[in-house]
Amino acid sequence: MKRIIISVLLIMALLMFQGVEASAKTDPCLNFKTISIKKGQTVSLKVQNNKKKVKWISENKKVATLKKGKVTGKKAGTTTIKAKIGKKTYSCRVVVSDGKKKSLVVYFSHSGTTKKVAKILANEAGADIIELCEKKAYTQNYNKLLKVAEKEQKLDARPEIVTQIKNINQYDTIYIGYPIWWGKEPMVIRTFLQKYNWKGKKLIPFCTSGGSGIEGSIPGIKKYAKKATVLTGKDLSDMSRTEISNWVKSILKNNIDVTTEAKQENEDKKKGEGQ
C-alpha cells in the first residue's frame, strides 16, 4: 500500500513540474528586451504568447514614439517602452542614436560587474551603449550557474537573445564585453556574433574575470565574428576609470591586432631564452 501511495505522489509531482515548465514556455513576453536604433528607424515590438489587449506606453515620447507596438526613434537618448496586459507590465529599453557616433559598446552582464566597466568604457570612448540580454534568464545561484555554463560549453549551445541592434551598420568600432565563464566567453556571446555581418568592422573584446583572463575567449570571438578585425582584448577587472581611459586611448592609437601582439610576445620570449 505504501508503495502505491509513493508511486501516486511521484506521478503527481512529475505532472505538476511538467505543468509549471509548460507554463513558463507559454507565458507572455516581449520579443525584445533591449533595442538600439537611430533617428528615423522603426522596430516592431510584440507580446508573444498573448491574445489579450495590450496597452503600449513610451516613457519618453521625445526620444521614441509608439504606435501599436511600432517603435520609431525621434532623437538621441534612451527610453523604456512598456506593454501592459491587465496588472502585468513588460518592459523594453530603447536606445536611440543620432547616427553620428561610430563606436558602440555591447555588453552581457550577469552579476552587474561587466555592466559597471562597460558604462565607464562607453563614456571614455564616447560610444553608444547597449546591453545584450538573454531570453531565458540565467540563475542567480552561483554554483548552479557554473553547471549551466559548463553544460552550454560542452554542447556548444546558442542561447536565444532578445536584443536587436538595427543600426549596427553605422558603427565602425564595436567593443564587446562579457564575464569569463569556465575560461571562455559565455555562449550567448557566440549567439550574438553569429547574428550580424562583421565585414569591415573592428571588434575590441573586454571582460571581467575572477582570474582566468581574456585569452581563452579570443579564439571564439575571432571564429564567430567572421570578417571582422579583432583588436587587442583586455581584462578590465579592478581597473580604475583612468586605467580604462588610458587603455582606450592606446588601443585606438596603436590599432594592434591581438594575434600580431601575441606573436611579438612569443618572439620576445624566444630572444630572452636564447640569451
Report the chain (275 residues): mean pLDDT per 10 consecutive residues. Answer: 49 42 68 98 96 94 96 97 96 96 97 96 96 96 94 97 97 97 97 97 96 93 96 92 94 58 42 36
HEC string of 82-108 equals EEEECCEEEEEEEEEECCCCCEEEEEC
Q: What is the DSSP letter of 74?
A: -
**How many degrees, rounded to 5, is the angle at CA 138 between CA 132 and CA 144?**
145
pLDDT of residue 21: 41
Cβ distance 175 to 121 under 8 Å?
yes
pLDDT of residue 2: 52
pLDDT of residue 260: 40
| DSSP reduced 3-state for 175 | strand
pLDDT of residue 207: 98
Domain 28-99 in CATH 2.40.160.100: no
Q: What homologous superfamily is domain 101-275 in, according to CATH?
A: Flavodoxin domain (3.40.50.360)
pTM > 0.85: no
Q: What is the DSSP letter of 169?
A: G
CA–CA gap between residue 262 and residue 149 (Å, rounded):
27
pLDDT of residue 4: 53
Q: Provide CATH 2.60.40.1080 ranges for the chain.
A: 28-99
pLDDT of residue 219: 96
pLDDT of residue 275: 33
Q: Provide CATH 3.40.50.360 ranges for the chain.
A: 101-275
Q: To 10 degrees, what angle do helices 113-125 and 241-254 make?
A: 60
pLDDT of residue 190: 98
C-alpha distance from residue 55 to each of 86, 90, 94, 144, 257 (Å): 9, 10, 17, 37, 49
